[in-house]
């Protein structure tokens, strides 16, 4: 059974990537197993923040943000009867996506891109570009 990591950030581009994955699922003999992943950037450490906001509250914030971002794609895959598991993790986006794809044994990564201009991408970089350079497996980037 093919395993696909679907990187979700809550954007319309990520939803389009999920839609393309649903379309491509028909190409497989067996339905793919999808590992849906939302990566939240860590909240910066601020001196004295732990006195106001405890770790449990921050973890809840990460979980709520992740669930909100995953909801539309979860519904889409459920309607298409494609098996999936969803996970919210905290870390640097590109590195975490590639590490999770490797750890879960995924064959392919699907993700959206925000469609930066070539100049903006060159100056700022993008998560999709970093994933393309770091991943050892095929990466499907949907615009």
**Selection from 49-53, 105-109, 111-115, 125-129 with the highest mean pLDDT:** 105-109
Handedness of CA 112, 83, 76, 58 (dihedral sign): negative
pTM of the predicted structure, to 2 decimals: 0.90
Name residues whose C-beta falls within 8 Å of residue 88's C-beta, 6 or more positions apart in sequence.
38, 40, 62, 63, 65, 66, 67, 70
Mean residue pLDDT of the chain comes to: 90
Rounded Cα distance between 69 and 1, Å, is 26
Residue 116 has pLDDT above 80, yes or no: no
Mean pLDDT, residues 32-37 taken together: 97
Q: Which domains does the chain have, with CATH numbers?
A: 3-142 (3.40.50.620)
Rounded Cα distance between 120 and 7, Å, is 22
Residue 40 DSSP label: E
Residue 127 has pLDDT above 80, yes or no: yes
């Amino acid at each position: 059974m093919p395993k696909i990591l679907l990187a979700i950030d809550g954007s319309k581009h990520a939803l389009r990537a999920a839609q393309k994955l649903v379309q491509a699922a028909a190409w497989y003999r067996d339905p793919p197993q999808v590992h849906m992943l939302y990566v939240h950037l860590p909240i910066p450490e601020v001196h004295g923040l732990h006195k106001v906001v405890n770790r449990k509250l921050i973890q809840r914030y990460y979980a709520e943000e992740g669930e909100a971002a995953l909801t539309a794609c979860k519904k889409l895959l459920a309607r298409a009867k494609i098996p999936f598991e969803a996970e919210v993790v905290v870390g640097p986006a590109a590195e975490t996506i590639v590490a999770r794809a490797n750890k879960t044994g995924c064959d392919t990564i699907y993700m959206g891109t925000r469609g930066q201009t070539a100049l903006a991408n060159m100056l700022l970089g993008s998560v999709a570009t970093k994933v393309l350079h770091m991943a050892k497996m095929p990466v499907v980037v949907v615009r």
